Amino acid sequence: MAKRYKLRTGRVAAVISCFLLLLMIIVLSSVSHGSDSEKTRPAAGTVTMSYTSSCTTTSVTVTSTTSTLPVTTTSVPYIDCPEHIAAAVWSQDEQRLLYGDNIHARTAPASLTKLLTAVTALRYVPKDQVFTVGSEQWLVQPYSSLAYLSIGSRLTLYDLITGMLMASGNDAAYTVAVSVARARMPGSNMTDEEAVSFFCRMMNEIASEIGMEESCFVNPDGWDDERQYTTVSDLIRLADYACSIPEIRDITGTLQKDITAVSGEYYNWTNSNLLLSPYSEYYCADATGMKTGTTPDAGYCLIASFIKNEKKYLTIALGCNSDPERYELSHRLYDLIQ
């Protein structure tokens, strides 16, 4: 009996020791994490990441491997409000990441896609080439943002891109995609759907070329599709490249524009980016342009460009819960720029 009692007390002692050890771990953990809302996260971090994905659209496959962005070596305050999926601040002059939060998280690109649509179109077709708005308009999803193009209207590629980027017109995006695809393959008799698929193949090829290794595109307007995705890391590359194209830089930086189509129709477009509007509470005098995006899967998103202290920067805010919050986050990102 004495032996059994000794064994039992040994077990009790072991249990008590484990309990005390666990309690110590919990106390130390709570002390180290604290409840300070002004946490800091090193912007340097580790942003080199092995990432493999397959993007297939009508016989094109884009495979990615590794994505690396140069980063700063200093710590900056971590922004946890307003709520968002991912965010970044990028120095275009120094080509380095000043702030990055969840930059490799896969998310829907929404209308940020249209920057790549514009890049692709201007790569292959002169900006003054005239196209006719046609039956591709039936591919535009209900409740889309529109440039309100009229079927039969004839516009230059530049004007179509203006309606696509300023008013975020999905109708303009489809006319651009179908028209440019057919211009690249004259006499092919592609259907509207086939032309869109062909154009998306060109989009993915250019995305790969400029270093977008974590993205896939299957439509030109950014409508939610589980096969269409991107990351902040890739959007930095896209926006940085798009800024090098004068037509895109000028269009995205314009607040309001009146257009008379080649066929005589009149269009009036206002930029959806409220950072550019002096009449908006979100106006920023240093803002120079870029693109909004909103879908159920993507949330409220904004790529914004700035010139501050004579230097150029990009901010990216993805997955906000409301229109005001994407601008509040963009302002907080802008405030990180020294």
Percent pLDDT > 70 in the chain is: 78
**C-alpha distances in Å from residue 210, one per residue of 186, 235, 249, 256, 273:** 27, 11, 17, 30, 25
Report CA dihedral (232, 235, 237, 243) to the nearest 10 degrees. Answer: -140
Angle of CA points 123, 127, 133, to nearest 5° = 105
pLDDT in tens, 146-159: 999 999 999 999 99
This prediction's pTM: 0.81
Element (H, E) at 26: helix 2-33
**The pLDDT value given to residue 69:** 76
When pLDDT is cut at 50, 70 and 90, the band that residue 168 belongs to is very high
- Extents of the domains making up the chain: 70-335
Report residue 27 as tokens: 């106390």
* Closest to 87 (Cα-Cα) out of 78, 42, 207: 78
Please tell me the predicted confidence (pLDDT) of residue 17: 53
242 has a pLDDT exceeding 90: yes
Query: Which tens digit of pLDDT belongs to each residue from 201-240?
Result: 999 999 999 999 999 999 999 999 999 999 999 999 999 9
**Which tens digit of pLDDT belongs to each residue from 29-84?**
443 333 333 333 333 333 333 333 346 433 333 333 345 677 654 567 899 999 99
The residues, any chain, with a CB within 8 Å of residue 29's CB and separated by 6 or more, are none
Q: 266 near 259, Cβ under 8 Å?
A: yes
Instruction: Give the CATH architecture of domain 70-335.
Output: 3-Layer(aba) Sandwich (3.40)
Judge whether 233 and 106 are in contact, CB under 8 Å.
no
